[in-house]
Amino acid sequence: MRAPWLVLLLVCGCTSPLSALTSERTITVDAQRFLLRSREDAGRDVDRVASALSTATPPLSVWGGLEQSVTVHVLRDHEELERAVRRPGFDWLRAWARYDDVMLQAPSTWAPAQEPLVELLTHELTHCLMFQRSGGPDDWSKRGIPLWFREGMAVWTAKQGDKYPTLEDASSWIAQHRDLDAFKDGEALSQAWSGPVYGIAHHAFAFLVRRYGQDAVTALMARMKSGQSFHDAFTGAVGLTPRLFQKDFETYLRLKGFRDWARPVGRPPKTLRDVLPER
């Protein structure tokens, strides 16, 4: 039985850009299965995506890898991408991920080199992994995962941190925009402030991993998989609420805890515990 929204689209004659993707190709990378969908004339783009997936997939193993196969829809241009994901005006957008699919703007329109494509695919597949390990196909979007965690985890896994503002820049931006909250209002701010918002997300996630370890992240996702909200899962896995974590991170930025140029070789970077007295 067709879903009501699909029937409405058919009646109205409103077709998605995805309907033009009639060519399909299946590949397997490290036991992970991918279905590539594209227009019939997108052969070169599909070859590039297939090649990029072989490099983009292994980094996901740090979180246990994907649990389900993923379909990558290769869309002809940016206009088709915006239409497919219903995000008009996001000029910087190149891809969009959900539970088991990725909408990708054809790399020939924005990535002359292969490295940016590999990084982007690792980033988007990290989203798929997070959604799959935090819920099922029918409830993954109901966990309330904030943008800072979603994007921070994806940027961290894809090693894209050097493409965003530094810790120094993030500290300055927060100080200069005290009326804006990149944690609570990340979604609303991402269109106009994508650089600072994603930079803060990356640094906050890196702070989380350095302070509490990767096991806390996997435990957080497992708790959401069992039905907990992000807030409750974070509190249980990390030991403090997301709001208290945000305050700790912002204190770390304000006190310039990252300015630790003289630390001995092998000593980890300073955290909040290093720059604040014992309480």
pLDDT of residue 14: 54
* End-of-domain residue from the set 142, 158, 180: 142
- If asked whether residues 153 and 217 sit together in one domain, one would say yes
Q: Provide the greatest CA pair distance for the chain.
A: 68
Q: How many domains does the chain have?
A: 2
Q: Which domain holds residue 72?
A: 17-142
N- to C-terminal Cα separation, the chain: 61
pLDDT of residue 257: 81
pLDDT band at 262 (very low <50, low <70, confident <90, very high): very low
Q: Cα separations (Å) of 118 from 31, 41, 122?
A: 18, 22, 6
pLDDT of residue 190: 86
Nearest to 150 by CA among 96, 114, 108, 107: 96
Identify the residue with better confidence: 263 or 211: 211
* End-of-domain residue from the set 110, 142, 174: 142
- If asked whether residues 131 and 242 sit together in one domain, one would say no
CA angle centred on 152, ends 208 and 184, rounded to 5° = 85
- If asked whether residues 186 and 219 sit together in one domain, one would say yes
pLDDT of residue 145: 97
Identify the residue with better confidence: 2 or 19: 19
* End-of-domain residue from the set 142, 163, 181: 142
10 assigned to some structural domain: no
